[in-house]
Amino acid sequence: MTATTTTPLSTAPVPAVRRPSARLRAWSTRAPLLPALIFMIAVTQLPFVATLVISFFDWNALYPDARRFTGFDNYHQVLTDADLRRSVGTTVLLTAAVVIASLVLGLALALLLDRRFRGRGVVRTLLIAPFLVVPVAAALLWKHVLYNPEYGLFNGLLHYVGGPQPDWISHTPLLAVEASLVWQWTPFMMLILLAGLQSRDPEQIEAARVDGASDWQIFRHLTLPHLRRYLELGALLGSIYIVQNFDAVFTITSGGLGTANLPYTVYQSFYQAHENGLASAAGVLVVIGSLVIATLALRVVSSLFREEVSRA
């Protein structure tokens, strides 16, 4: 179906209403869309414009009278500040590690769940559950109940096998945050990849099997190419969500021990240091960084979408 101004509907006779002019009709088609569109522009686009403007000012909220235009000074400061640069590195590392680990695990789980076995529905439900724990609650669970060096579950289980009793969060802070996020995001990846697996053409696989292809050959040459776009989509959507992660960093380490990512740094620079200009410049940089991922993501979504539309 292609996009046209006159859908079949508008040609249907509408009793008791005189045929309106083409222009009026176009507006009556548009009208239902406008509230949502205007709302989105007002609430999501205007703040970005404001952020951009504020990023060019030297503005500490505690000294509002000293506010002045400084051009690119804030950007210079953000890009040369050691802490902020480290937080850029942390963001990249955190996002990449979590996305890759949960994609690999998610793929393995999706492959396991794609086959019939007793209790498949129950296992699927068990696997989705971590994603349905409120993120702050999940972070608290990992911080206090699992990682606690004295009576956390991990050290408790290690105790049984006579293993060491590490202080997980102090020794490997970033890994501790990443592990909790992988636990929450693997189900997400699994669900997307499972949907991909189930949209394969069963006849094609059957034909390959009849021709004597092994399981590995089918996976390598049929399943994986088919899954490519689902893997891309999972990676991109995961990146978009995890780049923005605040809850886990805030809860598990409070941004300490080198785990402060960009959202946490932006939060801190304005909430605790009251540096409005700096926070905005950092915010703009986060947006620019995300644009690359977002553009790629939009391309993948649109290719999947076009396929859906042409199939319909």
Total residues contacting other proteins by CB under 8 A comes to 120
Question: Which residue in 21, 65, 118, 272 binds other proteins (CB under 8 A)?
Answer: 118
**Tokens standing for 310?**
């042409």
Question: Which residue in 21, 44, 272, 310 binds other proteins (CB under 8 A)?
Answer: 44
223 part of the interface to other proteins, by CB under 8 A: no
E strands present in 61-170: 68-69
210 part of the interface to other proteins, by CB under 8 A: no
Q: Which residues contact 188 (CB under 8 A, 6 or more apart)?
A: 102, 106, 131, 234, 237, 238
Could you give the CA distance from residue 285 to residue 199 in angstroms, rounded to a whole number?
A: 38
Could you give the CA distance from residue 108 to residue 113 in angstroms, rounded to a whole number?
A: 9
Question: Which residue in 195, 207, 224, 273 binds other proteins (CB under 8 A)?
Answer: 195
CB of 44 to other proteins, least distance (A): 5
Nearer to other proteins, 61 or 222 (CB): 61
Question: Which residue in 95, 186, 259, 268 binds other proteins (CB under 8 A)?
Answer: 186
280 part of the interface to other proteins, by CB under 8 A: yes
CA proximity to 101, closest of 197, 177, 215: 177
Question: Is-contact 131 211, C-beta < 8 A?
Answer: no
54 part of the interface to other proteins, by CB under 8 A: yes
Chain centroid offset of residue 259 CA: 18
Question: Which residue in 40, 104, 207, 224 binds other proteins (CB under 8 A)?
Answer: 40
192 part of the interface to other proteins, by CB under 8 A: yes
* Unique residue bearing structure tokens 């990992």: 142
Nearer to other proteins, 92 or 140 (CB): 140
Sole window of 70-78, 95-103, 202-210, 303-311 interacting with other proteins (rule: CB under 8 A): 303-311
CB of 66 to other proteins, least distance (A): 16
Sole window of 33-41, 66-74, 206-214, 216-224 interacting with other proteins (rule: CB under 8 A): 33-41
57 three-class SS: strand
CB of 258 to other proteins, least distance (A): 18
Q: Which residues contact 45 (CB under 8 A, 6 or more apart)?
A: none
249 part of the interface to other proteins, by CB under 8 A: no
Could you give the CA distance from residue 283 to residue 259 in angstroms, rounded to a whole number?
A: 18
Amino acid at 137: A
Sole window of 72-80, 167-175, 205-213, 279-287 interacting with other proteins (rule: CB under 8 A): 279-287
Q: Enumerate residues 124-143 that contact other proteins by CB under 8 A.
A: 124-138, 140-143
CA proximity to 279, closest of 55, 102, 68: 55
255 part of the interface to other proteins, by CB under 8 A: no
176 part of the interface to other proteins, by CB under 8 A: no
Question: Is-contact 240 128, C-beta < 8 A?
Answer: no
Question: Which residue in 98, 260, 263, 268 binds other proteins (CB under 8 A)?
Answer: 263
175 part of the interface to other proteins, by CB under 8 A: no
Q: Enumerate residues 79-108 that contact other proteins by CB under 8 A.
A: 108
188 part of the interface to other proteins, by CB under 8 A: yes
**Tokens standing for 61?**
């909220």
CA proximity to 262, closest of 238, 236, 240, 283: 283
Cβ atoms within 10 Å of 258's Cβ, excluding its own = 14
**Tokens standing for 130?**
């971590």
21 part of the interface to other proteins, by CB under 8 A: no
